[in-house]
Amino acid sequence: MSHTPNVLGLPKAELHVHIEGTLEPEMVFALAERNGIAPPAPTVADLRARYRFRDLQSFLDIYYANMAVLRTERDFHDLAAAYLTRCRNQGVRHAEIFFDPQAHLARGVEMGTVVRGLAAALEEARTDGFSAELIMCFLRDQPAESAAETLRLAEPFLDRIVGVGLDSAEVGHPPSKFAEVFRRARDLGLRAVAHAGEEGPPEYVHEALDVLGVQRIDHGVRALEGPALVARLRTERIPLTVCPLSNVRLAVVPDIAAHPLPRMLAEGLVVTVNSDDPAYFGGYIAENFAAVRDGLGLSTDDLRLLAANSFEAAFIGEERRAELLAEVAAWPSPPGGIE
């Protein structure tokens, strides 16, 4: 038992979580039964045993296959509600949740079905102490024209979407491919973020910033390979939404002890800790905080800084940001151990 403060109680924002990546095997089977679909494996244990990934693509293959069980507004509501309950119990005060409409549109599920289901769960979860928003991601391994059509279909629902992102298989799909659709999204008043520098090179981070005009970089661990880029990220205080357990599971790093998070902190970068696809990668946000604390020897001050960075990077108003930062400054009170 550690005597460092309980990371479950650390006030934090989660800024990099794919709602489809919170689809636990048990829910896959429950939704398959509800919708009269054959499950993707004989048993829950068999499905979970398949969660051994060589790289990003080997994960994506299973990730997209499991999505077949998501059919109705109720399905999307229940998926989001389960994540929101769990993250609130782990100290999350604000969540910005990615969703991948193209993966559902391709299966004949309408945009409204996805957005209304997810948004209903977010609305139910919002209280004085908790907030949540949706970020619609474009699949970078699909044509830019598909992204543009996805944005067009989303326009009637933009009151329930705070921003756009870019995800899926990175290598060979540079951010510049999506310059026009991101310009359109920004013109519509949407915030912009993008996955870059996970498996792709530092040049993709430059492109995301300069061509797409993003306000945050999702992952960004390979940015450390470019000294000028590191200096820019530090000077411009561009947040990086890092996902440690994901990086281990997808072999971006060999193990948690090799993770570059301490160097990123030492470089003065606005780095945050997030769960990415927690049903697949071995832990939600508190498990990620515990992993970097234990595996990297992070101090209480380091953990507090990571949490403060998450609120600095969040798409929230300044009054709420100040309130949440004050909560972080007061933590831990009282001190206690993590489970």
pLDDT tens digit string along 267-286? 999 999 999 999 999 999 99
Per DSSP, 333 falls in state S
What is the pLDDT, as a whole number, of residue 334?
A: 54
What is the pLDDT, as a whole number, of residue 336?
A: 45
Paired sense of beta strands 191-196 and 92-99, if any: unpaired
Assign 48 a pLDDT band (cuts: 50, 70, 90).
very high
CATH of 7-330 given 1.10.10.10, 3.90.1150.10, 3.40.1440.10, 3.20.20.140: 3.20.20.140
The separation between CA 330 and the C-alpha centre of its own chain, rounded to angstroms, equals 26
With pLDDT > 90 as the criterion, what percentage of the chain qualifies?
A: 93
Encoded tokens for 157: 């629902």
Per DSSP, 241 falls in state E
Q: Is 18 annotated as a binding residue?
A: yes
Can you point out the beta strands (E) in the chain?
12-18, 92-99, 131-139, 163-167, 191-196, 216-219, 240-242, 271-273
How confident is the model over 323-329, as a mean pLDDT?
97
What is the pLDDT, as a whole number, of residue 13?
A: 98
Paired sense of beta strands 271-273 and 191-196, if any: unpaired
Q: Is the pLDDT of residue 193 over 90?
A: yes
Q: What is the pLDDT of residues 131-150, one digit of tens each?
A: 999 999 999 999 999 999 99
**235 burial via Cβ count (<10 Å: 0-12, 13-18, 19+):** exposed
What is the pLDDT, as a whole number, of residue 1?
A: 34
Q: What is the pLDDT of residues 94-113, one digit of tens each?
A: 999 999 999 999 999 999 99
pTM, two decimals, is: 0.96
Q: Is 276 annotated as a binding residue?
A: yes
Q: What is the pLDDT of residues 52-69, one digit of tens each?
A: 898 888 898 999 999 999
Encoded tokens for 232: 């820019």
Backbone φ and ψ of 209, nearest 5°: -75, -50
Domain ranges of the chain: 7-330
Q: Is the pLDDT of residue 20 over 60?
A: yes
74 vs 268: CA distance, rounded Å: 43
Assign 43 a pLDDT band (cuts: 50, 70, 90).
very high
Assign 2 a pLDDT band (cuts: 50, 70, 90).
very low
Q: Is 219 annotated as a binding residue?
A: no
Is-cis flag, bond preceding 332, omega within 30?
A: yes
**Contacts for 335 with CB less than 8 Å, ≥ 6 apart:** 5
How confident is the model over 181-193, as a mean pLDDT?
98
164 vs 185: CA distance, rounded Å: 7
316 vs 13: CA distance, rounded Å: 11
* Active-site annotation, residues: 198
